[in-house]
C-alpha cells in the first residue's frame, strides 16, 4: 500500500540545478526537484549515487557548489542547518548515551528554551506517539535497536519541524523489525502531515512507503515519480533494472525481436531494447497479439508458483511466473513454447 498522506500541491522545497563537488569529484550534478508540502519523498539509488549528499545539502549540513535551494519560495542556499530547522534522523541513532529516553527527547526543546511545563507535555506526547510509554527513564543502552530508533524519531519530531530528513534509519534493524518500523513511520507521517525526505537503497522500502520516489545514479537524478510511475513507466534502462526484475529483449531493427514481428510501444523510435516485467509476461494463448517463440531452459518450483527461465531464438534470457494451481500441467524443460504480453505493458529502453 502506498502512503495515503494528504499531499497538498504546494511546493515546499525546490532544488534548482544543484551540484556538489568534493574536490574534483562530482558527487551531484544538476539536480532539479520540487518537494511538495506533506509528501513522503524517498531518495533511492545504489551505494555512492549521492542520496546522502543531497539530504545533507537539503538540511544545510553541507554547502552546495552550484545551483540554489528554496524553502517556501525563499532562497535558503546560504542558510545554516539551524536556520532551516529541519529534523534529522541518521543511520546510527546518535542518541546521547548518558541521557534517559525522556531527556533525549527533551534535548532539542531545551535548546529552544521552551518552558519546563511545555517540555514535559511534549515529551509525554512524543513518548506515547512512538509507543515507548513506560521506558521514559531508561538509558539508550537498555533499549532494543527498534526502541532506540523510536527515540531518535521522537527527538527529531519533538519540536515539530516542517521537514523531517531520514537517512536509512532502519538499515541496522533486522527484517521483521524493519517492517514494523516502516509501518510506524507511515502512521506517523499520516498523523503529522510533516514532509518526510527519506534516503534508502532498498527498492521495496521506497515503493511501499513513498508518495514519490527520486531515483539517483552516479550523482544524477534519473527519474521522479509515484511508485507505480517509476515501476511501470521507467524513464530509462537504469531505472527499469534497478526497480525490480525485468526482461530485456533486443529489437532487430525491423520492428521485431529475433525475426518475429512485435507490436512496439509508442516510445520505441530510436531505442534498441524492449522491456517487459516478468509479471506482465505469460505463456501465449490463441489470439494473443505479441507471441514470441522460446525454449524452456529451467523451471524453479516456488510453492504457489513456478519461475520459468526461457530463452529466445536469439539466445536472450526471459523469465516469467506460472501459477501452480489448477490448469494445464507445467511444461517440461526443453519444451518449445511461446510467450506473450500486452503492448501497453512493454516499454522501449
Ligand atoms: P550510500 O547508500 O552508500 O550512503 P549514497 O548514495 O548516500 O550512498 P553519498 O554518501 O551521497 O552516496 O556519496 C556520493 C559520493 O560522494 C560517493 O562516491 C562518496 O564517496 C562521495 N562523498 C560523499 N561525501 C564525501 C566527502 N565528504 N568527501 C569526499 N567525497 C565524498
Neighbours of 270 (CB within 10 A): 6
In the numeric block, which cell numbers belong to residue 204? Answer: 521495496
pLDDT of amino acid 199: 97
Average pLDDT over every residue of 117-136: 92
305 DSSP β-pair partners: 323
Q: Tens of pLDDT along 247-276?
A: 999 988 777 887 888 888 887 777 789 999
* Any ligand 1 atom below 6 A from CB of 47: yes
Q: What is d(CA 159, CA 121) in angstroms, rounded to the nearest whole number?
A: 12
Q: What percent of the chain has pLDDT over 70?
A: 96
Domain shared by 212 and 143, yes or no: yes
Look at residue 205 and tell me if it is in a domain: yes
Q: If DSSP codes are grouped into helix, strand and coil, which group holds residue 299?
A: strand
Q: How far does residue 141's CA lie from ligand 1's centre (Å)?
A: 29
Claim to verify: residue 221 and residue 95 sit in the same structural domain? yes
User: Looking at the structure, do residues 23 and 152 belong to the same domain, yes or no?
Assistant: yes
**End-to-end CA separation in angstroms for the chain:** 28
Q: Is the CB of 22 under 6 A from ligand 1?
A: yes
Domain membership flag for residue 31: yes
Residue 177 lies in a domain: yes
Cell of 130: 512512538
28 and 127 together in one domain: yes
**Is any ligand 1 atom within 6 A of the Cβ of residue 50?**
yes
Q: Residue 26 C-alpha to ligand 1 middle, in angstroms?
A: 10
Q: How confident is the model at residue 246 (pLDDT cuts 50, 70, 90)?
A: very high
d(CA 164, CA 195): 6
What average pLDDT does the segment 145-160 reach?
90
- Name the residue range of residue 60's domain: 11-238
Query: Cα separation of 10 and 13, whole Å?
Result: 9
- Cβ pair 153, 121 in contact under 8 A: no
The answer to the question of residue 212 being in a domain is yes
Query: Cα–Cα distances in Å, from 126 out to 109, 142, 326?
Result: 12, 19, 52
Q: What's the alpha-carbon Rg for the chain, to the nearest Å? A: 24
pLDDT given at position 20: 98
Query: Ligand 1, atom 1: nearest CA belongs to which residue?
Result: 47
Last residue of a domain, one of 238, 265, 300: 238
The CB of 27 under 6 Å from ligand 1? The reply is: yes
In a domain, 159, yes or no: yes
Nearest CA to ligand 1 atom 21: 27
Indicate the pLDDT class of residue 6, thresholds 50, 70 and 90.
Answer: very low
> Rounded distance, CA 59 to CA 245, Å?
34
Q: Is the pLDDT of residue 3 over 70?
A: no
Asked whether residue 189 carries a pLDDT value surpassing 50, the answer given is: yes
- Relative to the CA of 23, which ligand 1 atom is closest? 29
> Does ligand 1 have an atom closer than 6 angstroms to the CB of 53?
yes
**Sign of the torsion angle spanned by Cα atoms 32, 345, 207, 228:** positive
Mutate to test the pocket of ligand 1, among 18, 24, 31, 52 (most ligand atoms within 8 A of CB): 52
Q: What is the mean pLDDT of the segment spanning 236-257?
A: 88
Quote the mean pLDDT of the chain.
91
Which protein residue has the closest C-alpha to ligand 1 atom 20?
Answer: 48
For CA atoms 18, 21, 22, 28, give the dihedral sign. Answer: positive
The DSSP result for 233-247, as a single string, is S-SSHHHHHHTS--E
Look up the CATH number of the domain holding residue 203.
Answer: 3.40.50.300
Regarding whether 215 and 271 lie in a shared domain, the answer is: no
Res 329: pLDDT: 73
Q: Are 64 and 191 part of one and the same domain?
A: yes
Task: Tell whether 229 and 261 lie within a shared domain.
Answer: no
**Share of residues in the chain with pLDDT > 90 (%):** 69
Q: Which residues does 121 contact at the CB level (< 8 Å), separation at least 6?
A: none
Domain count of the fold of the chain: 2
User: What is the pLDDT, as a whole number, of residue 93?
Assistant: 64
Q: Is 45 in the pocket of ligand 1 (CB under 6 A)?
A: yes
Element (H, E) at 88: strand 87-89
Residue 54 CA: which ligand 1 atom is closest?
Answer: 11
Surface-to-core class of residue 305, CB atoms within 10 Å of its CB (0-12 exposed, 13-18 middle, 19+ buried): middle
Determine which residue's CA is closest to atom 9 belonging to ligand 1: 50
Residue for grid cell 506515547: 128
pLDDT tens-digit map of 304-317: 899 999 999 999 99
Name the residue with the closest Cα to ligand 1, atom 23: 53
Please check whether residues 117 and 228 belong to one and the same domain.
Answer: yes
| Binding site membership of 63 for ligand 1 (Cβ less than 6 Å) | no
Tell me the whole-structure pTM to 2 decimals.
Answer: 0.87
* Residue finishing a domain among 211, 238, 265: 238
What is the predicted pLDDT for the residue at 223? 97
Region 277-294: mean pLDDT is 92
The pLDDT tens digits for 9-49 are 799 999 999 999 999 999 999 999 999 999 999 999 999 99
User: In whole angstroms, how far apart are CA 236 and each of 196, 231, 243?
Assistant: 26, 11, 11
Distance 24 CA to ligand 1 centre (A): 13
Domain final residue pick, 238, 266, 281: 238
Same domain, 134 and 70: yes
Beta carbons of 342 and 280 less than 8 angstroms apart: yes
Within a domain: residue 6? no
CB of 291 sitting under 6 A from ligand 1? no
Asked if residue 3 belongs to a domain, the reply is no
Q: Are residues 92 and 122 in the same domain?
A: yes
Q: What's the full length of the chain, in residues?
A: 349
Q: Is the CB of residue 222 less than 8 Å from the CB of residue 235?
A: yes
Q: At CA 246, angle to CA 245 and CA 247, rounded to 5?
A: 135
Asked if residue 179 and residue 65 are part of one domain, the reply reads yes
Asked if the model's pLDDT at residue 7 lies above 60, the reply is no
CATH number, residue 267:
2.40.50.140
Judge if 258 and 314 occupy the same domain.
yes
The listed range with the strongest mean pLDDT (68-72, 125-129, 245-249) is 68-72
- 296 lies in some domain: yes
Amino acid at each position: 500500500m502506498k502512503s495515503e498522506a494528504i499531499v497538498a500541491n504546494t511546493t515546499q522545497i525546490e532544488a534548482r540545478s544543484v551540484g556538489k563537488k568534493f574536490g574534483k569529484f562530482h558527487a551531484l550534478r544538476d539536480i532539479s526537484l520540487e518537494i511538495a508540502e506533506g509528501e513522503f519523498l524517498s531518495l533511492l539509488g545504489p551505494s555512492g549515487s549521492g542520496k546522502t549528499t543531497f539530504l545533507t545539502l537539503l538540511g544545510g549540513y553541507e554547502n552546495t557548489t552550484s545551483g540554489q535551494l528554496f524553502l517556501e519560495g525563499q532562497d535558503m542556499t546560504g542558510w545554516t542547518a539551524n536556520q532551516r530547522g529541519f529534523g534529522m534522523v541518521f543511520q546510527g541513532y546518535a542518541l546521547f548515551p548518558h541521557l534517559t529516553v525522556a531527556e533525549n527527547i527533551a534535548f532539542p526543546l531545551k535548546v529552544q528554551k521552551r518552558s519546563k511545563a511545555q517540555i514535559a507535555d511534549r515529551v509525554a506526547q512524543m513518548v506515547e506517539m512512538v509507543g515507548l510509554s513506560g521506558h521514559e527513564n531508561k538509558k539508550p543502552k537498555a533499549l532494543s535497536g527498534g526502541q532506540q530508533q523510536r527515540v531518535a524519531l521522537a527527538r527529531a519530531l519533538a519540536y515539530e519541524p516542517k521537514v523531517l530528513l531520514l537517512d536509512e534509519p532502519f538499515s541496522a534493524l533486522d527484517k521483521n523489525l524493519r517492517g514494523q518500523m516502516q509501518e510506524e513511520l507511515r502512521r506517523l507521517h499520516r498523523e503529522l502531515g510533516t514532509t518526510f525526505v527519506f534516503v534508502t537503497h532498498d527498492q521495496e522500502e521506497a515503493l511501499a512507503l513513498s508518495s514519490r520516489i527520486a531515483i539517483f545514479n552516479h550523482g544524477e537524478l534519473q527519474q521522479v515519480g509515484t511508485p507505480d510511475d517509476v515501476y511501470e513507466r521507467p524513464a530509462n534502462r537504469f531505472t527499469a533494472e534497478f526497480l525490480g526484475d525485468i526482461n530485456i529483449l533486443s529489437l532487430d531493427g525491423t520492428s521485431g525481436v529475433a525475426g518475429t514481428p512485435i507490436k512496439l510501444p509508442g516510445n520505441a523510435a530510436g531505442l534498441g531494447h524492449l522491456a517487459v516485467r516478468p509479471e506482465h509476461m505469460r505463456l501465449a494463448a490463441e489470439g494473443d497479439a505479441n507471441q514470441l517463440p522460446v525454449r524452456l531452459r529451467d523451471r524453479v518450483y516456488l510453492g504457489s508458483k513456478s519461475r520459468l527461465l526461457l530463452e529466445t531464438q536469439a539466445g536472450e534470457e526471459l523469465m516469467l511466473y506460472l501459477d501452480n494451481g489448477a490448469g494445464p500441467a507445467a511444461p517440461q524443460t526443453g519444451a518449445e513454447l511461446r510467450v506473450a504480453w500486452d503492448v501497453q505493458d512493454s516499454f522501449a529502453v
